[in-house]
């Protein structure tokens, strides 16, 4: 059997859990995209013979509850990815401007951030991007990080932050002749960061999943019924 994931909408505790439809089977790299569009949900790791995109059914097996999707886990995962990227900055002026945006978003509620303040940070970053030395091998990476922080400066909520991350251009600088392979790596890494934060959040909000029985699966898929043979015309006419 293969390992995959599903996300069941909403926060439900295991002792009162009910499936709300049959969730779609997800690969690990696709978790980031899935959590961006789901307000909240429990992430389960499953064992299945089905393919990604199929619907969970009773022929599969729930292995573990591994995370909670909510506003907090989405913020944490998004900011963790930003922080990882900014840790690679080596040009002091760019690093200072990017970290200033990160700390602003990290430490203040979005409702308290006025547009002139956001715009001031964005203008400073754009100016630094324009001044990056063309011959410096760090320039493309640093410029991509600065461009990411321009967008981050205007984020109003966790969903907007999650749609910025992972900021793929940062990781494509030395992608070589196989950009699809590099993009797949970025998706896998982002989903790994999300899983870490989602599991931490699950243990904060619903630690019962660590010790109570897991939910029962939806009913097994029924095999299609064989077509019925057509009735004999002579029998219909009473002959």
For the entire predicted model, the pTM comes to 0.87
| pLDDT tens-place string over residues 101-116 | 999 999 999 999 999 9
Rounded Cα–Cα distance for residues 98 and 95 (Å): 5
pLDDT band with cut points at 50, 70 and 90 for residue 52: very high
pLDDT attached to residue 136: 84
Alpha helices in the chain (DSSP H): 31-36, 71-86, 92-107, 115-131, 139-152, 158-164, 179-205, 233-236
Query: ∠ CA(121), CA(172), CA(193), 5° rounding?
Result: 75
| 181 close to 65: Cβ distance less than 8 angstroms | no
| 23 close to 53: Cβ distance less than 8 angstroms | no
Mean of all residue pLDDT scores within the chain: 91
Residues above pLDDT 90, as percent of the chain: 80
pLDDT attached to residue 239: 44
| 191 close to 31: Cβ distance less than 8 angstroms | yes
For the segment 67-86, the average pLDDT, to the nearest whole number, is: 97
Q: Is 221 a residue whose pLDDT tops 60?
A: no
């Amino acid at each position: 059997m293969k390992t995959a994931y599903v996300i069941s909408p909403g926060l439900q505790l295991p002792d009162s859990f009910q499936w709300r439809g049959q969730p779609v089977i997800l690969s690990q790299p696709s978790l980031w995209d899935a959590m961006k569009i789901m307000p909240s949900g429990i992430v389960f790791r499953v064992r299945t013979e089905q393919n990604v995109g199929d619907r969970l059914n009773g022929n599969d097996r729930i292995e573990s509850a591994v995370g909670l999707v909510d506003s907090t886990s989405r913020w944490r995962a998004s900011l963790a990815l930003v922080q990882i990227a900014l840790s690679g900055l080596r040009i002091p002026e760019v690093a200072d401007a990017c970290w200033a945006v990160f700390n602003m978003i990290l430490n203040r509620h979005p409702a308290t951030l006025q547009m002139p303040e956001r715009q001031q940070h964005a203008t400073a970053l754009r100016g630094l991007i324009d001044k990056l030395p063309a011959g410096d091998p760090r320039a493309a990476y640093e410029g991509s990080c600065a461009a990411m922080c321009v967008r981050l400066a205007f984020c109003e909520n966790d969903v907007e932050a999650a749609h910025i991350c992972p900021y793929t251009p940062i990781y494509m600088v030395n992608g070589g002749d196989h950009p699809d392979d590099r993009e797949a790596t970025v998706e896998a890494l982002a989903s790994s960061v999300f899983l870490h934060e989602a599991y931490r959040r699950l243990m904060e909000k619903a630690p019962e999943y660590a010790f109570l029985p897991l939910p029962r699966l939806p009913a097994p898929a029924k095999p299609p019924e064989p077509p019925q043979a057509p009735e004999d015309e002579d029998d219909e006419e009473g002959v």
